[in-house]
Structure 1
């Protein structure tokens, strides 16, 4: 899921819920809720021509006994919509989809169909994600056993599950064989099987407007070349120490620093500015670039062409390398259509995690490191001229109040950089945790008539502000969700529609029919 501290070291339907407020019974009134999402001019846009911010959450089950389906009924999707989400990242597992070569599990697919239907009935758009962790269901989740060519190599585990990315020969070998497109027992290459599976999914959902796109692979990992990562990072850290203190540390001394939890954390805490952090992690940029250019990009192109044979309308979501989750610059490119022209319907789908994610030190995440990670993501999105959808971030889990400022800083960066996102992840009871109520549950613009320039929540002062340039090409209003809409003072410039039985609701700002600069500032009181 993410490269964390230990791994480094070790080697709108809710819109159609019952609403109260100043609703109109005029049958000729223009529609206001989006029914589809696409890309135009480097932005997510809805069918009414408005810019869209996807505010999402990951819905996932990695449990084979549950057939890789998050167990819930339709009320769960109704709740997500009531909490202001307008999208989900729905996890799919190759092992569940294709348990035998070329044979697909229709019952699993029907379960997926049902979740998509429930999502759509509640105004939630869906991105389908082909998920993997440690490549295979044999080690964690992902590929079926028949597609796991580990050549009998030993699988090693560490203190945390993702340590195996760096230390497991079996995981390395399985990835190496996948990137080489070596054949399964039926003689068909592993990537060819994978592309055919995506083609099947494209056929199934090509006319489905709830599904807005396909996340082609979760956190692509380079395989055995990753064994070079730890020595490179340790060397870069040694250089950092020398530049900061003049002290020269030999390999044994560096290894000792990273051998215990407290020493490791002390070392990480030294990387407490963007410049210091970059000076260490950027040592991996050549390794990441080589993988992304020579293995990942051709793979993306293969899968993209398979999908585009069937479906020319859905968005392709491209992730960067696993190692780029921690802020290393990505070298991925836009995929092309069969005639060689760039595919316009491609989004950049990075993940962003601080090094302390998944550890007992998660509440000590560095704002500076997180800011650099998000800055690098923004730079890559601008280079690619693609909308950014942060497909994973967070993984907070903790009920401790101490994690709330970390979550709020991450949200502030998502807002500052105008990213769409999907929080990782929902688990039963997440909605009761402090960080969810005080950061994830927030005011945000879902559909903007025009081009958004900036928006920001001030969590301390309970205010929200947004600036945008209105479009004269659409009559659809701007839609802002707020969990505190009930606390807003009356205002003749917008309409408030409250969700029944809730303090939450929608702020509906009528279109002006001009290209004017506009602004809104909201104060929610106590």
Structure 2
């Protein structure tokens, strides 16, 4: 969200003792694939799986959306400790004509999936769009972009078009209404047929863990209600802070456009931010609980016709990225019971994203965004993966605490994550070391909590080990030479902890063998600065 342009059967039975409300999950467990237990991802060996990775995408139609990355990059991702790739795919590249799929592009996607597999990285496919269409940015092909001849307007920042372009808004309206394409088939039907095709193509692939149905869904022309509400709400904030009469909407608009730094400062504390933002909850909730949930249900029903083993990732709306309370509904099976393989791929961005003020973010706002995402995850009783976060395009050392604070939010709430996004700038980014945090990749039981303090180098992890799990717990460490073995503490103590190096790298994993008991385990260590 760029608002300034306005992340074994016995084993299952054991887990079900703690998660009694997930009996359907147990019935659907397939021990070849990544699955779900309650609000946690589970690997094929029954361990809690923490996903930590990065988005990879090419949005350039001139290259057939390919050729932007090499197999060496995937080796680098493994060394950085990533274990998942959010692989962006583009509808325009996949279906250049109605019902005709681009085999060259599909083979290119297959190649990247294989590069990930070669490096033991999971993949989930993200059907990406920005401003709906290749006609305006990226996403839908021109034949599926029905604007009713409305004009396309742009602003100073690319994403302003969501709010001001009648063409973009109308294109979304027609997508949600399933308006007919040139061949007479509904454009949403085409989109879901494509997902069904992809779900079948990868149904036997155990490293492809699932499908992110749509990037940052936008409500269309209903969004015209949003800006006036936010401007009026901000006028009230200004009045409360100044003790004077509320300014006019024109004065508020002028301030928003001319002095964004003042606006950011005035919305920096949590309570004020909530008061300003929550006025648009009802408009957004109507879209999420109605149109968007119904769309995800249709997508689920099509995918499940051919694929019953992969996870369906649902995203909230574009506006929820800002920290609104989410209103997505439950996605169900044919009997009306919750589909056990649905996860919440939320996005979270502070107001400073896509601006020159990246270092002026508010920790209060960021905390609220991820507290509310966690609230939605609990309500839906699904795992949360922050499918997009970051967008930290800069070399300033001031971005180090920003990235660190964000990652700490994820460990605090038990989120998985995928950083936005891979680019060569990362090789020189000040915060790259922060991204390479120690974390429990796989845990031999139920992961309760983990944390890493970047300043002190202290790592802590607690989990409920299960006697039925025979595979070890594995903790990623970016530089094994920094591991102070004298500070390592493990309870209960057990012999056989080993260090597993990543080939041709200073990175590796601490491998903690199971105790063979149902017991709480604790591990801590320090990394030397």
TM class by shorter chain equals: over 0.9
Can you give the 5+ residue segments of structure 1 that lack an aligned partner in the other structure?
8-33
Which of 488, 499, 502 pairs up with 1:499?
Answer: 502
What are the Cα deviations for residues 333-381 of structure 1, in whole angstroms up to 9, with x where unaligned? 2211233322110001110000110100011111110010010000000
Return the offset for 1:516. Answer: 1.4
CA distance in 1, matches of 2:504, 2:103: 38
1:71 is displaced (CA, Å) by: 2.3
1:40 paired residue number: 37
Which 4+ runs in 1 deviate beyond 4 A? none
Give TM-score scaled by structure 2 length: 0.92
More deviation, 97-106/74-83: 74-83
* Equivalent position of 2:469 in the other structure: 474
* 2:255 is the alignment partner of 1:257: yes
Structure 2 distance, partners of 1:417, 1:488, is 26
Structure 1: distance between partners of 2:322 and 2:54: 20
Residue from 290, 293, 308 that aligns with 2:289 = 293
Gaps in structure 2 of 5+ consecutive residues: 7-30, 489-494
Tell me the number of residue pairs that the alignment of Structure 1 and Structure 2 aligns: 496
**CA–CA separation in structure 2 for the residues paired with 1:265 and 1:493:** 55
Q: What TM-score comes out, normalization by structure 1 length?
A: 0.92
State whether residues 60 and 70 of structure 1, in contact with CA within 8 Å, keep that contact through their aligned partners in structure 2.
no
What is the alpha-carbon distance in structure 2 between the residues aligned to residue 355 and residue 395 of structure 1?
Answer: 12
Match of 1:362 in 2: 358
Matches within 5 A, 1:349-428: 349-428=345-424
CA contact under 8 A between 1:155 and 1:169: conserved in structure 2? yes
Q: Which residue of 2 aligns with 1:225?
A: 222
Which residue of 450, 454, 476 maps to 1:455? 450
Matching residue of 2:28: none
Matched, 1:518 2:515: no
In structure 1, distance between residues paired with 2:122 and 2:67: 17
SS of alignment partner, residue 150 of structure 1: coil
Give, in whole Å, the separation in 2 of the partners of 1:358 and 1:404: 17
Moved more, 303-312 or 510-519: 510-519
SS at match of 1:217: coil
For 1:161 and 1:5, the matched residues in 2 are separated by 10
Q: Tell me by how many angstroms 1:169 deviates.
A: 0.7
How many Å separate the matches in 1 of 2:484 and 2:158?
49
How large is the Cα RMSD of the aligned pairs?
1.4
Instruction: Establish whether residue 151 from structure 1 lines up as the match of residue 154 from structure 2.
Output: no
Deviations 1:300-334 (A, max 9, x none): 11111110000011000000000000101111122
Work out which of the residue numbers 75, 79, 96 in structure 2 matches 1:78. 75
In structure 1, what is the Cα distance between the partners aligned to 2:471 and 2:480? 20
Distance in 2, Cα, partners of 1:520 & 1:486? 18
Report SS of the residue matched to 1:165.
Answer: helix
User: How much does 1:35 deviate?
Assistant: 6.7
Deviates more, 1:470-479 or 1:216-225: 470-479
Q: Deviations over 1:26-84 (max 9, x none)?
A: xxxxxxxx974111233100011100100110001101112112523322211111111
1:90-489 matches, cutoff 5 A: 90-248=87-245, 249-260=247-258, 263-437=259-433, 439-489=434-484
Query: 1:118 deviation in Å?
Result: 1.1
Tell me how far apart the structure 2 counterparts of residues 70 and 212 of structure 1 sit (CA, whole Å): 23
Secondary structure at 1:445's aligned position in 2? Answer: strand
Q: 1:88 aligns with which of 85, 88, 92?
A: 85
Paired residues of 1:59 and 1:70 also in contact (CA < 8 A): no
Partner Cα separation in structure 1 for residue 404 and residue 4 of structure 2:
21
Whether the 8 Å CA contact 1:486–1:498 is kept in 2: the answer is: no
Task: Assess if the C-alpha contact under 8 Å between 1:135 and 1:141 holds in 2.
Answer: yes
Confirm or deny: 8 A CA contact 1:487 1:503 kept in the other structure.
Answer: no
Q: Which residue of 1 aligns with 2:12?
A: none
Secondary structure in 2 matching 1:411: helix
Question: Whole-Å Cα distance in 2 between the matches of residues 321 and 393 of structure 1?
Answer: 15
Deviations 1:123-143 (A, max 9, x none): 000000000000000000000
Structure 2: distance between partners of 1:445 and 1:177: 44
Deviations 1:2-44 (A, max 9, x none): 232231xxxxxxxxxxxxxxxxxxxxxxxxxx97411123310
